[in-house]
Structure 1
């Protein structure tokens, strides 16, 4: 159980520089909202966070794989049952592909029910000579380019809480109500994906899963795990006032948990060791992720471990690397080698999205599927060479038929981007592309388990 009050000791982060915080125009209004949020029920429970930490510990030991995915930035007008269902469906399909092809458990974590804030490279945006605050996600302001919409409004934090609660309610209903049952593998494929080459490939796999389940049933086995699924929520813990307001003390252990999500992560722009975000994360018991970009040094990674995982607890800390296809093979080996050599057991995830963004000739921010896949391939190559475990992937995706990333099995070109470019911030893989990636990752995982070929040792002969 959780106590009904925030942990005032968590205010230690306020003594340190806090990057990427909105310029709230009314501090009193913000404080009022934070006080109200502090009285709200938890969105997740401490025991669920502990369960995820146990599952991630298996990943750190090389016994499981992580699939983390969802929207770049959730929006308050996309909390309907169909939108949530399609995201869950996509992740369940990807998980089915990965689980069947790799024969290891897949830990499913959504970028969902809280991913409403985004760090930005500039504080303002200029259009036609008009300068306004940049859009920082629906938890802060609106996407419309008007002074009213772009003014940060703390009341949005309450709307985000309620939207996250509604989303988690829907997820739990889908997961526990039979929608995640592996016998639904065909049902997940009855819409537009079924008519695509990737859908056909998925349908072949679904039939194989059906055959395996039929065999188990004939043997008298009916494992409960096949009828439901574990699903965890996560988001970037960017707005520290919101995260602090949703932190509670667990009555079992007297430890603090951020009950806004099962897992929270620190972004590339906010991971400074002397900063407020690292300080806040060090005070809560949740599993913690940290994004590591191409400028990260091994010493910085080791220092982050000392701050965030001083007890070297498997499952506590996840490093999410976002190097870019051109740098992953050069930068990642030293990080992995030195972290592994230190004795720390972290989870390594690959975020192949953020380091491969470019502006198309059409003016759209986009990513090429081949670049995304190449970074994943480089991630696996590095871990294979070092005999370490490639723990999983972290993907920005949607269950909708959008045209935001080019390439992949969907064959989207630059000229198609304008058709269904719907993201509020960064481009996402659509469902075709997400399934395509899952098949590719499964093949990389299986290949990584194949020993490197060595010449046979010479046969000793008698003198």
Structure 2
């Protein structure tokens, strides 16, 4: 994440919004927004929101515009988006070591993809804001006790007690504070020399040397070393590889939080949601007349929409018309999440029916959410082979349609957890017991993330060969 000091005040709230703009930004309130917390004390909520409306922005409008340009390149096949991070961040895991390992894992995956497919990688972390999760039920029952469902640390606590599960508005403010400290650390890592490509070996330190992909990555790092030494001998300037751009993303689920962190850009007078660079709308809240679609249609960030197996071309076209009426490259990303069992059936139909009507849209694959199962031992999990099966189906569908596979959106951690079955480390159902740590959905561990990167690099290189 490169911070340009000249842009510090662009979206810092110093410009006045027109009455029409403000009214539009609040239109969602009359639309029965779904998946929102239920706060019992309106005065307590109002106090927190008032504080949030006055805090400094987490990101700046110029950075969001920069990301929009990078995503636009991916829509043309000139770059590839890699978005990765926790399913749901927790306040307790916002430590320097855990943040560093997540950033390292994304950097390593990006190095594999860049070197293997000769394409720039747009690096985005599901970090510094991914604290809320939609739930299929408002309540949870255990041993005859019924309490509100856990909706992420920004709403309530995972502990199963009445006090912990209360929807607490003060958590909105704490989420902002944790996001701020996380972004500060990411900026330090990505601009202070840690991300220098000449340290590509250093990123592997601290991970298990017994993992098969550790050695495969080390071999790639040696090849990168040789290439860099050749460039050095030729007098190359290495300043450009000392730092990297690293952007933040999260699902814009809690609309009160997103609205409180919306600012007016002093350059243009346009509203930007300064809670993150890239925001997306989930499968549960993407209805054309939904509050989430209305709100995000009014901010200028690059945005995404999750499309599940039931998504139709008519819905996708209508969403594009609502969210990206000017057809601006990089503004809208469709993130498909269909499942390995149906993607080869559903995605080709969707792409064929849309045809060439959305050339500006970037298509990204989320191979995680459509492949969730429950193991025989009772764990919510996924099979690595299913995850990669959906990735393969995504590339094949775009190959056949003549469209661009623009990126990958995945849930991962830099830790050595055991939450997803299979992969080269051969995690079995009993192995899930070893280090199952997620509070919501299962994540790829570091080794599985690298394994995915090597396989995706092969798909991407093949696509580059066949489509130029």
Which residue number in structure 2 is paired with residue 47 of structure 1?
A: 62
The CA deviation at 1:334 is 2.4
Q: Residues 21-420 of structure 1: matches in 2 within 5 Å? A: 21-420=36-435
Give secondary structure in 2 for the equivalent of 1:257.
Answer: strand
Rounded Cα–Cα distance in structure 1 between residues aligned with 2:74 and 2:113: 14
Rounded Cα–Cα distance in structure 1 between residues aligned with 2:119 and 2:240: 14
Rounded Cα–Cα distance in structure 2 between residues aligned with 1:241 and 1:121: 20
Give a deviation string over 1:417-439, Cα, whole Å, max 9, x none. Answer: 11111101000000000000000
Indicate conservation of the 8 Å contact 2:416/2:446, yes or no: yes
Rounded Cα–Cα distance in structure 2 between residues aligned with 1:24 and 1:407: 41
The CA deviation at 1:78 is 1.1
Indicate conservation of the 8 Å contact 2:34/2:285, yes or no: yes
Give secondary structure in 2 for the equivalent of 1:252.
Answer: coil
Give a deviation string over 1:308-332, Cα, whole Å, max 9, x none. Answer: 0000011000000000001111111
**Higher mean displacement: 186-195 or 361-370:** 186-195
Rounded Cα–Cα distance in structure 1 between residues aligned with 2:304 and 2:358: 18
Rounded Cα–Cα distance in structure 2 between residues aligned with 1:31 and 1:337: 48
TM-score, with length taken from structure 2: 0.95
Rounded Cα–Cα distance in structure 2 between residues aligned with 1:28 and 1:269: 29
- Segments of structure 2 that go 5 or more residues without pairing to the other structure are 1-9
Rounded Cα–Cα distance in structure 2 between residues aligned with 1:437 and 1:331: 23
**Higher mean displacement: 314-323 or 16-25:** 16-25
Give secondary structure in 1 for the equivalent of 2:147.
Answer: strand
The CA deviation at 1:340 is 4.0
Rounded Cα–Cα distance in structure 2 between residues aligned with 1:447 and 1:300: 31
Identify which of 22, 31, 54 aligns with 1:8.
22
The CA deviation at 1:92 is 0.3
TM-score, with length taken from structure 1: 0.96
**Residues 41 and 340 of structure 1, relative CA distance in 2, 3 Å threshold:** farther
The CA deviation at 1:22 is 1.0
Indicate conservation of the 8 Å contact 1:17/1:274, yes or no: no
Give secondary structure in 1 for the equivalent of 2:397.
Answer: helix
The CA deviation at 1:153 is 0.2
Give a deviation string over 1:8-61, Cα, whole Å, max 9, x none. Answer: 331011121211001111122112111110000000000000000000110111
Which residue number in structure 1 is paired with residue 3 of structure 2?
A: none
Report whether the alignment pairs 1:439 with 2:466: no
Rounded Cα–Cα distance in structure 2 between residues aligned with 1:87 and 1:451: 33
Give secondary structure in 2 for the equivalent of 1:169.
Answer: helix
Rounded Cα–Cα distance in structure 1 between residues aligned with 2:211 and 2:222: 16
CA RMSD of aligned residues (A): 1.2
Which residue number in structure 2 is paired with residue 459 of structure 1?
A: none
The CA deviation at 1:338 is 3.4
Give secondary structure in 2 for the equivalent of 1:248.
Answer: strand
Rounded Cα–Cα distance in structure 2 between residues aligned with 1:153 and 1:255: 31
Rounded Cα–Cα distance in structure 1 between residues aligned with 2:341 and 2:404: 21
Give a deviation string over 1:57-85, Cα, whole Å, max 9, x none. Answer: 10111111010000000001111110100
The CA deviation at 1:224 is 2.6
The CA deviation at 1:195 is 3.2
Indicate conservation of the 8 Å contact 1:87/1:398, yes or no: yes
**Higher mean displacement: 382-391 or 299-308:** 382-391
Rounded Cα–Cα distance in structure 2 between residues aligned with 1:407 and 1:201: 18
Indicate conservation of the 8 Å contact 2:132/2:152, yes or no: yes
- Segments of structure 1 that go 5 or more residues without pairing to the other structure are 453-463
Rounded Cα–Cα distance in structure 2 between residues aligned with 1:285 and 1:177: 29
Give a deviation string over 1:188-240, Cα, whole Å, max 9, x none. Answer: 11222433210100000000000111111110112432111000000000000
The CA deviation at 1:341 is 1.9
Which residue number in structure 1 is paired with residue 441 of structure 2?
A: 426
Rounded Cα–Cα distance in structure 2 between residues aligned with 1:208 and 1:125: 52
Rounded Cα–Cα distance in structure 1 between residues aligned with 2:402 and 2:241: 31
**Higher mean displacement: 281-290 or 4-13:** 4-13
**Residues 280 and 364 of structure 1, relative CA distance in 2, 3 Å threshold:** same
Rounded Cα–Cα distance in structure 2 between residues aligned with 1:190 and 1:79: 20
Rounded Cα–Cα distance in structure 2 between residues aligned with 1:435 and 1:343: 32
Indicate conservation of the 8 Å contact 2:117/2:464, yes or no: no
**Residues 314 and 339 of structure 1, relative CA distance in 2, 3 Å threshold:** farther
Give a deviation string over 1:276-323, Cα, whole Å, max 9, x none. Answer: 000000000000000000010100000000000000011000000000
Rounded Cα–Cα distance in structure 2 between residues aligned with 1:343 and 1:155: 41
